[in-house]
Amino acid sequence: MKHDTPHQTFQPGVLRGRVTVAGDKSISHRALMIAALARGRSEIRNLNRGADVAATRDAIVALGASVHEVDGVVYVSGGKLRSPEETIDARNSGTTVRLLMGLVAGSGLRARFDGDASLRRRPMERIAAPLRAMGAQVTTIEGRLPAVVEGVLRPSGGTFNLPLPSAQVKSSILLAHVSATSAVRITGDLYSRDHTERMLRLFGAKIEWNGREVTYHPSPLQAATLTVPSDLSAAAFFLVGAAITPGSDLVLERVGYNPSRTGVIDALKSMGADLTIENQQEIDGEPVADLHIRSSKLHGVTIEGDQVVRAIDEVPVLAVAAACAQGTTVIRGAGDLRAKESDRLKTIAELLTNCGIEVEELPDGLRIEGGGARSPQGVIATHDDHRIAMAAATLAAVAGPIEIDNARVVDISFPGFAALWKSVQT
Ligand code: S3P
């Protein structure tokens, strides 16, 4: 990624109209993986087209699933997986590697996993430890990639306590138990995203959860048909852009409105955003709604506890909203953001500081003094982090032109972001 990274400049401007953002990345990963485990041919519509989900798609093919596409519908035939000869390269995608390590661990398979320089820096012990506890052999390089997983067939169930409220850890444990001989119970959650639970249910599993714990009774999975909702994490840039840019009025269509993801909506509403939820419905087990946002004056708030877990990927863009709000915003309990695609507490603080905002980096959060963002002097470093790039684009809507050092990094989750952004900007 380092060799060829054209810069891009985002401009100020009002956001108006209707927009449909990319398919949900988290749900897309799970749809592919669970379809690979299920017997029969599944049909997936509106799959996310980003590089992370492409890494999962290639990985399930390496694991023996067959995938083909006709007219935008992705067909996955699963149920007969094998150990791949080649290393599974998860590239930049934490969800790919962490969930697939679980899937391999519980399917009696053996696989070697690796990723790009950013993924090699990210912690994998949180996955390796529970998988070892269920009987798999997992080797890592001091808790980092590359890793080798040698699985067990038909593991016994049992109780696992999450070391942190992470959907990736929870999902890895669940996917490690699809062939288990008895129930698995997972405790220690704090409303982390429940897409794996919902997807397993859609594919026929008996599973219950309440935001704090999950109980899964494994039985064979059957192929399913589903349409992936638009990604609230992608919509969040448009929501904040419209909220902070006077004169904006935007509708985001058919966006995932799962309560384990709506921390960003709660936070924006508590800051004074003019946001209404329309056409609520459930599609293939996931809540979906249209989000209508108009610009308004925002004020600072404190964001902590389960609200942070439910908005974990939206902290960069919520920090942009805070920078444009009146008063102080404090974000706490977000220490795990230091272990994302970049150290997001550091990279957000750097972005906002460069745009004239007073920011204090806390060990587990940020204190942001709102008001008066301006165009930065030089080029903004994205640190090859897609969400930092899109947060910078969002801030440019009011602060003035912002040039980023890597126009391509948004392709991780949202190819076409810049064109779509421009199409609603006047
Ligand atoms: C994800 C879970 C979150 C999130 C990531 C996607 C998922 O990570 O930050 O972008 O799809 O399960 P953690 O489980 O590490 O919090």
pTM of this structure:
0.98
CA distance 107 to 113: 16
Same structural domain, 85 and 134: yes
Which of 29, 175, 193, when mutated, tests ligand 1's pocket best, judged by the most ligand atoms within 8 Å of its CB?
A: 193
48 CB under 6 A from ligand 1? no
Residue 114 annotated as catalytic: no
Same structural domain, 101 and 131: yes
CA distance 207 to 211: 13
Residues 6+ apart with CB under 8 A from 353: 359
413 CB under 6 A from ligand 1? no
Hey, CA dihedral for 237, 243, 247, 249, is it positive or negative? positive
26 CB under 6 A from ligand 1? yes
For ligand 1, atom 13: residue with the closest CA = 166
Tell me how far the alpha carbon of residue 330 lies from the centroid of ligand 1, in angstroms.
Answer: 22
CB-side exposure of 68: number of CA atoms within 13 Å?
4
CB 248 within 8 A of CB 14: yes
Residues 6+ apart with CB under 8 A from 209: 189, 194, 197, 215
pLDDT of amino acid 3: 52
Same structural domain, 379 and 260: yes
Last residue of a domain, one of 186, 221, 256: 221
Q: Are β-strands 110-114 and 144-150 bridged in parallel, bridged antiparallel, or unpaired?
A: antiparallel
Same structural domain, 347 and 389: yes
Give me the residues of the chain with pLDDT under 70, please. 1-4
Last residue of a domain, one of 172, 204, 221: 221
pLDDT of amino acid 5: 84
> Which structural domain, as residue segments, surrounds residue 254?
8-23+229-424
Tell me how far the alpha carbon of residue 168 lies from the centroid of ligand 1, in angstroms.
Answer: 5
Kindly state whether residue 2 falls inside one of the protein's structural domains.
no
Tell me how far the alpha carbon of residue 165 lies from the centroid of ligand 1, in angstroms.
Answer: 10
